[in-house]
Amino acid sequence: MSYGIHICLYPRSPDFFAGQNFLEIAKSLDRSNYAESLWGDFRILDRSRKKYLYEADECLSLETLNSTLLNNRALDKSSSNSLECSAFTWLEQWQLTEETKLKKKQKAALNVTTWDKKHPRGYAYLYDGFAELYISPGSYYITQTDDKDLSPESTYKDHNECVEKNLNVLRELLRSIIAILDPLSLKIFTSAGPFLPFNSHATYFANTNSFIRDLHMIKDFWVGNFAPYYHEPPRPLKDSDPIRQKFDFNEQRTDEQRIELWETYTDCLRMLDYVTPEVVNLALDVEQSVEEGGLDIQRTENGGTLVFGSKDFFNSFVSDVYLDALEIAYHQQA
């Protein structure tokens, strides 16, 4: 996969702070046991003044990071609410060695960035959220059905075993983040398309309101109501050509899948006003055949719901869960 992975977190309210959320993300990664406990290149940037308030010259432990964020005077002196905290650590990733087909636990760079409510991305929190975890591009998250693009010593089955391990790492990572940060929503995207709900490979809903808000976002981008999101795409999605404007509907989809997505949402979004919390719960309870590629829907300990596009979720999207809700609303009104 030549696309980077973006894990985006969305707040319950527009009142959020970079330092506090960065520390909680660091704690959640440490709790997961799948990421290193050392942080490199930690920085605090004041975007309003375009000035770094803090730059670490060495790797920081979680304990040092904690004291830095809690006691740093630069944070106390800044009243701009436009801070950005960033650093990187290393995430466990299984790969095939170049010399042999043996599976080996390696490390992938994991970059974490958080921002304040008056940071440029903070104003766009409905689209960008309040934090992003970025994993460098790599092929070990998408399963294969043949040996194409693999080394002669490897088979797609070896590759897929690595993918299965890596997807399990991400699943545990998400659960740890959700347990500590309690976001309204969390989504996993790749850079193959815009950060819109139907392009997510895995989505967390804290409640039915977060689900309905996603549907309103899809409708807004469909008809061209971009103002609430501080983003200005070149055209409403209803006017996009799913063949020519591949990025609008995600380049990882085939032409046929993009056409079907455009046609189905164009037809079904008229039912949005009839999607109630009860309809959402029915959609999340639709029986799925996970082993045959259906949505993988899991409840979380805090009462939320995690929806994966499928068991191999980077090979799929969560878009059908929204269509299930719109279809249920249609049948209730028929």
Q: DSSP of 103-143, one letter per residue?
A: EEEEEEEEEEEEE-TTSHHHHTHHHH-SEEEEE---STTS-
Number of continuous H segments (helices) and E segments (strands) in the chain:
10, 11
Contact (CB, 8 A) for 221 and 236:
yes
Whether the pLDDT of residue 60 is over 90: the answer is yes
Q: List, in sequence order, the alpha helices (H) in the chain.
A: 18-32, 62-71, 73-77, 120-123, 125-128, 156-181, 208-223, 255-268, 277-284, 319-333
If you search the block for the tokens 């993009």, which residue do you land on? 258
Pair 234, 145 in one domain:
no
Distance CA 60, CA 85 (A): 14
Pair 13, 155 in one domain:
yes
Higher-pLDDT residue of 209 and 152 is 209
- Chain segment 254-307, per-residue pLDDT in tens: 999 999 999 999 999 999 999 999 999 999 999 888 888 899 999 998 899 999
Pair 98, 146 in one domain:
yes
Pair 172, 211 in one domain:
no
Pair 178, 242 in one domain:
no
Distance CA 217, CA 205 (A): 14
What is the identity of the amino acid at 261?
A: L
Asked if the structure places residue 75 within a domain, the reply is yes
Asked if the structure places residue 88 within a domain, the reply is yes
Whether the pLDDT of residue 252 is over 60: the answer is yes
Pair 163, 82 in one domain:
yes
Residue 323 DSSP code: H
Distance CA 253, CA 137 (A): 17
What tokens does 151 get? Answer: 């080394």
Asked if the structure places residue 300 within a domain, the reply is no
Pair 129, 225 in one domain:
no
Q: Which of 148, 183, 218 is the last residue of a domain?
A: 183
Pair 10, 111 in one domain:
yes
Asked if the structure places residue 195 within a domain, the reply is no
Asked if the structure places residue 201 within a domain, the reply is no
Counted domains in the chain: 2
Closest CA to 166 of 120, 135, 192, 130: 135
Asked if the structure places residue 278 within a domain, the reply is yes
Asked if the structure places residue 325 within a domain, the reply is yes
Which residues touch 149 (CB under 8 Å, ≥6 apart)? 139
Q: What is the span of the domain harbouring residue 154?
A: 5-183
Pair 179, 289 in one domain:
no
Pair 31, 178 in one domain:
yes
Higher-pLDDT residue of 101 and 141 is 141
Whether the pLDDT of residue 332 is over 70: the answer is yes
Asked if the structure places residue 199 within a domain, the reply is no
